[in-house]
Amino acid sequence: MEFQTIKKERSYIETNDIARSPTLQTILMVEKFIDENSGEYKKTDLFKNLPKKVMWQTFQVIMEYLESVYKIVYDKKNCIGGLICVDIAPEFWRMDGAVATINNQKATKDKDKEELIFDEKDLSHNLEAAEGCPVAVIKIIDLETGEQLYPKE
Residues in the interface with ligand SF4 (CB under 6 A) total 15
Q: Where are the beta strands (DSSP E) in 10-96?
A: 69-75, 93-96
**88 vs 143, beta carbon nearer ligand SF4:** 88
Q: Where are the beta strands (DSSP E) in 52-147?
A: 69-75, 93-96, 99-102, 108-109, 113-119, 138-142
**Total residues belonging to the chain:** 153
Interaction of residue 30 with ligand SF4, rule CB under 6 A: no
Interaction of residue 69 with ligand SF4, rule CB under 6 A: no
**Cα–chain center distance at 108:** 14
Q: Which of 39, 81, 90, 151 binds ligand SF4 (CB under 6 A)?
A: 81
Nearest to 100 by CA among 141, 108, 53, 113: 113
Question: Distance (Å, rounded) from C-alpha 60 to C-alpha 30?
Answer: 11
Interaction of residue 137 with ligand SF4, rule CB under 6 A: yes
Q: Site mask, ligand SF4, residues 90-129, x = CB under 6 A?
A: ---------xx-----------------------------
**39 vs 81, beta carbon nearer ligand SF4:** 81
Interaction of residue 89 with ligand SF4, rule CB under 6 A: no
* Sites of contact with ligand SF4 (CB under 6 A): 79-85, 99-100, 132-135, 137-138
